[in-house]
Structure 1
Amino acid sequence: MVFFRNRKLAIVCFSTAFGGLELSTLRLAQELSARDATTVLVVPPETPLALEAVRRGLKVAFLKPRMKYGDLFASWELARILSAHAVEIAIVMQSKDINVVVAAKLANPSVKIVYYQQMQSTIDKRDAIHTWMYSKLSLWISLTNRMKMEVLEHTRVPEHMVKVVPLGRDTALF
C-alpha cells in the first residue's frame, strides 16, 4: 500500500467485538506502521481490540460513540484526535462508523477518508443521507469485484472511487 507510505493515518474502528474485522484492523495498523506510516488506532476504551492494540505496542486513541448515528460529541472528539495527531488520512473499518468520521471531517476538511469495506452489503443506501456521507469519501476499498459491483448497484458512489484490493495471504504462516 504505497499510497499510505510516509503518511499520518488514523484507523477508526468503534467495534466492541473481537473477531475477523478487529483482527484485520490490528493487522492493518501493524502493516502500515511497519511501512513508514505514522498510525494511530482510534477505538473504544477497555474493549478487546483496545487491549490487544496496547499489548502490541500500537499507538492508540480512545473514543466510544454513545449513539449509533448523529453523535456530534463523538465527532467533535474525533476531530480533536485527528488534529492532535496531524492526521492526513482516516481509514474507516466499518460502515456504521462513517457518519462519525464524516462529521469530524467538517472540522478537518483536509483529512481524506478511506472506507475499507470487508463485509458484503446488498442493502440499498441510495438515500440522501448516505449519498451525502459517501460523497465525503476519498476512496472506497472493496475486497472483491463482486463487492464493488454491489457498492455500485446499492449506492451512488461513482465507480472511479471504488477500488478492489484483495486481502493477501500471510506467507509467514508457512
Structure 2
Amino acid sequence: MKVLHVCTSRSWGGMEMIVCRLARLQRDAGHQVAFACDARAPIRGACGENGVATIDVRCDLAGMLRLRREIAAARPDIVHVQYSRDLNIAVPSNIGKAGRIVLTKQIESVVVKRDPWHRLLYAGVSRATGISTMIRDNLIATTPLQPGQVDLVHLGIDTGRFRPDAAARAETRRELGLAEGTLAIGMMGRMSPGKGFDDFLEMAAGLGTPKAFFVLIGGHSRNEDDYGVRVEQRAADILAGRVALTGYREDRQRWLNALDIFVFPSHAESFGLALVEAMATGLPCVAYGKDGVLDIVRDGDDGLLARPRDVADLRARTDQLIADAELRARLGRAARRTAAERFSEQRMLAGTLRCYEAALA
C-alpha cells in the first residue's frame, strides 16, 4: 500500500512523535510511505532519521499546489492527514485522484464545523480515526462525518523500550543521589499550563511524607518559555533540595525507571501518551479521571483516579500509594499488562491499517 502522511505542524510533542513512529512502522511492515511536512519543523528531521522520505509542504496555496503535484506523481492509495487544518490543502490536492483521504484527530474541537465550506471539505474525507472515545465522539459531534466513518484507534507505544529495567533504575537513581528506600515521585510532559505542573507542585508540597523526592521530566513548551521558567523557580522554592528537573529527554524511559510513583495531573488530555509510557514501565499511577484518561486507567485495577482539578484528592490518592507498598506493586504490575495488551504500537498499526482497508473498500 502507498501511504502519504500530511502534517504541517511545527511543534514537537506527542502528536508529532507518534505520527513519525507510525510512518516508520508502516514502512517496516512493507508499505511505501512518504511524509509531507514543513521543512522548518522538527518532524522533518525525525522522519529523515527514521528513513521515511519527506516532501516540503506548508499549509498555504503554494503548499497545496506542491502537494497536488506529489499526489499526481506518486498516486498514493491513502493520504493520511494528521492535523485537521491540513485538510485545507489535502482535499483540494486530491480532487480527481484515486487515493482516499483518512483524517486522524488528536485534539478536541470546540468549533462545530458544519458550515458549507466544511461540508465541502469533509466530503473529501473517506474515513477518520479518533485517538480516544472522547475524540471519536467529538469528531462525530462537530463535523459532517457520519458515525460509521469514524473509528477508534488508540495511540500505541514501544513496550519493549518502555518496560521495567532494574539496571536503568539503579543507574538513574544513583545519578539523582537517591538513598535506598527514598520514594521518587514524578510527572512528565511539556511545560505548558494545561499539563498540571502547578497542581503537581501544590500536591507535592502537602504530601504526608517529608522523605519523598520529586522528578519533573520535560522541557519548555514552544512559545511558553516564561511559564517553564516560572515552574522551575517554583519547584526550587517549594521543594528545595528534593526535586530534579531533567528538561526534555529522549531517554525518558530511563528516568521513568527511577520513579516509584507516577502522577498525571493533566487538566484536559485527548489521550495521555506519557501516562501509557509510565504504565508500561510498571509504575503505579495517579491521574485526574477525565477525557482520554478514562480510556486508559481503570480505577483501582491498574491505577488510581482522582477527581478532575482537585489537588486535595490527587494528594490523597498519592498518599494512598506512599503508604501501601503492596498496592504500589499490584497496580504497577497491572499497569504494565494494560499497556502491553491494549496500547502497543503494533495494535495501533493494525487499527490504522484496518481503517485504510475500510476507506479503500
Report the TM range for the smaller structure's normalisation: 0.7 to 0.9
1:149 equivalent in alignment to 2:137: yes
User: In 1, Cα distance between the equivalents of 2:146 and 2:20?
Assistant: 29
Q: Which residue of 2 aligns with 1:167?
A: 155
Which amino acid counterpart does residue 158 of structure 1 have in structure 2?
Q
1:93 deviation in Å?
A: 0.5
Runs of 4+ in 1 over 3 A off after TM superposition: none
User: In 2, Cα distance between the equivalents of 1:151 and 1:45?
Assistant: 29
Tell me the SS of whatever aligns to 1:114. Answer: strand
2:3 to 9, 23, 36: 9
Which amino acid counterpart does residue 137 of structure 1 have in structure 2?
V
Determine which structure has more spread, i.e. the larger CA radius of gyration: 2
1:32 to 23, 26, 43: 26
Note the 1:12-161 alignment, pairs <5 A. 12-65=6-59, 67=60, 71=61, 73-106=62-95, 108-161=96-149
1:136 deviation in Å?
A: 0.8
Q: Is the 8 A contact 2:75 2:99 kept in 1?
A: no
Higher mean alpha-carbon deviation, 7-16 vs 39-48, is at 39-48
Identity %: 23
How many residues matched?
A: 162
User: In 1, Cα distance between the equivalents of 2:68 and 2:5?
Assistant: 13
Q: TM-score, normalised by structure 1?
A: 0.87
Q: Is the 8 A contact 2:105 2:139 kept in 1?
A: no
Tell me the SS of whatever aligns to 1:46. Answer: coil
Tell me the SS of whatever aligns to 1:138. Answer: strand
Q: TM-score, normalised by structure 2?
A: 0.43
Higher helix share: 2
1:147 deviation in Å?
A: 1.6
Query: Structure 1: where are the runs of 5+ without partners?
Result: 1-6
1:83 deviation in Å?
A: 2.3
Query: Structure 2: where are the runs of 5+ without partners?
Result: 164-361
Higher mean alpha-carbon deviation, 24-33 vs 51-60, is at 51-60
